[in-house]
Amino acid sequence: MCSIIGYLGTSISAQALRTGFDKTVSRGPDDTRMLHIGAATLGFHRLAIMGLHPEGMQPFTRDGSALVCNGEIYGFRPIRERLIAEGETFESESDCEILLPLYEREGLDMFRGLDAEFAMIIYDAKRGGLVAARDPIGIRPLYYGYDAEGAIIFASEAKNLVGLVHDVMPFPPGHYYADGKFTCYRDMTHVDAVCEDDLETVCTNIREKLIAGVQKRLDADAPLGFLLSGGLDSSLVCAISAKLLKKPIRTFAIGMRSDAIDLKYAREVAEYLHADHTEVIITREDVLQALPEVVALLGTYDITTIRASMGMYLCCKAIHEQTDVRVLMTGEISDELFGYKYTDFAPSAKAFQQEAKKRVDELYMYDVLRADRCISVNSLEARVPFGDLDFVRYVMSIRPELKMNTYDMGKYLLRKAFADDHILPDDILWRQKAAFSDAVGHSMVDDLKDYAESLYSDEAFAEGCAKYEFAKPFTKESLLYRDIFEKYYPGQAKMVKDFWMPNKAWKGCDVKDPSARVLSNYGASGV
């Protein structure tokens, strides 16, 4: 993960700009460069992943224009070879160096054709202004705001912009900004035509496309590791990767000292794959001590995002401090595509599809945000195979009747797709889903709730909630998170659309807690 900033204005001083930008230096600790070009300033904090030599340092420049990009451009080598055949020369092995000559040829149409996870800012000398864009799912972060004179500024994280602009806003995924307006170039949840493939064909395609998505993301010049919970999604990513790499992979799992569900299953998967496996053990004290830091790095007050971030952050912290791993493969985005425990209650196929659309559209505010911040703050890069654009496009197009849980087993299509491969033990492949924050240890969420209960009397809770009009807290735990959030992001609550919760309009989902453990169908999922 790298960090970028771009500004074309005069009211923010160079010092203030640099101070704001340096709040995310941990995203790119290897090198820093600020470039003043034309009337613009572009900044780059580098985490070297592809093209490790100094020549890969950004901003890249060309004919008076310049570019900074936090991203991975998959399949960049064939594009690079084509550009060389057309007369281009390159100074580095960086995947992002192809972007300026590609932009010169294709203009704004370039973004639509990229197979990539990216956020980028271009100073376009011909336009005399900034162009910015973000990948269609929002895996790489980007925010924006306007200075006192109305000039726009872009940066990787909200914390870069706090104090520089009045309102910090997330850059919409799948959009580019040019000539003063935002334009959608790709909508990943819009289905032009429903896929009519039968069950067997669907499962075959799911298998092939996920393997392809994993294979793309194994291309790294820096050491690679894998987050492993022992659940279906991360276990599949690990198993596919081990088979493709044909060598032991490095896996990492985390859990509470007393009741971690994940550690048992992750250990089973690691042994099956002959992985070099590390367990990170945490305590109540570790969790409570890290809480303010986690809220600050996330830039959210959402309950489920914070809960799920506690274990992930502490695991990534240990990886950063104790290993040379730079790239982490994760299992995010599967739930949004194939369903959560609560989507078992979807009243119709149409409702299931609408919920999947909502969840994928909002990924950048919840699960994807969590993964990015917990990993990047520890100077690591996340790669998300389930977010592969071809894979997401295909799964979104599958008839929702096939994706719904009519099989007495959630994510049936994904499980069946790999049933004949035997790359995982059957009890893992067919393991019921457990909520991530619970699987780290049921006691962790209970500890957080108890801590909040100790801080607020009923009277203090009522008074505290009354302070907030937007996304009003509704439990003492949610009030605690909101109070911490406001210390770091005062007045910026509208950066987050709302609390992540099951669809309360559905029978069985009208709950006051986002955890799947409160649902009637959770059953033995957390055992």
Name the domain boundary from 184, 217, 232. Answer: 184
Asked if residue 428 and residue 404 are part of one domain, the reply reads yes
Is pLDDT of 1 > 80?
Answer: no
Domain boundary among 154, 184, 214: 184
| Residue 419 sits in the same domain as residue 492 | yes
Tell me how far apart the terminal alpha carbons of the chain are, to the nearest angstrom: 35
The whole-number pLDDT of residue 258 equals 79
Q: Is the pLDDT of residue 148 over 80?
A: yes
- Do residues 208 and 303 both lie within one domain? yes
Using left for φ > 0, alpha for ψ between -120 and 50, and beta otherwise, residue 63 falls in: left
Is 474 inside a domain boundary? yes
Q: Is the peptide bond before 59 cis (omega within 30 degrees of 0)?
A: yes
Strand order through the sheet with 175-178: 60-62, 65-73, 116-124, 129-134, 175-178, 181-184
CATH code assigned at 158: 3.60.20.10
293 and 164 co-located in one domain: no
**Shared domain check, 263 and 203:** yes
List residues bridging with 144 in a β-sheet: 154, 169
C-alpha dihedral over 126, 71, 112, 334, to 10 degrees? Answer: -160
Domain assignment of residue 190, yes or no: no
Q: Is the pLDDT of residue 523 over 70?
A: no
Query: pLDDT (tens digit, 9 = 90+) per residue, 95-112?
Result: 999 999 999 999 999 999
Q: Residues 176, 209: one domain?
A: no
Are both 154 and 77 inside the same structural domain? yes
Q: Are residues 162 and 266 in the same domain?
A: no
Report residue 520's pLDDT band, with 50, 70 and 90 as the boundaries. confident
pLDDT at 260: 77
pLDDT number for residue 50: 75
Asked whether residue 307 is assigned to any structural domain, the reply reads yes
Task: Confirm whether 525 is domain-assigned.
Answer: no
Q: What angle do CA 306, 257, 448 make, to 5 degrees?
A: 30
Is 195 catalytic? The answer is no
Q: Say if 212 falls within a structural domain.
A: yes
pTM, 2 dp: 0.95
Q: What tokens appear for 156 in the block?
A: 């990787």
Q: Based on the fold, state whether residues 218 and 147 are members of the same structural domain.
A: no
**For the chain, what is the domain count?**
2
Residue 427 located in a structural domain? yes
Q: Are 70 and 62 in contact (CB under 8 A)?
A: no
Q: Which domain holds residue 225?
A: 199-518
* The pLDDT of residue 527 is above 70: no
Per the DSSP assignment, residues forming a β-bridge with 61 are: 66
Same structural domain for residues 337 and 478? yes
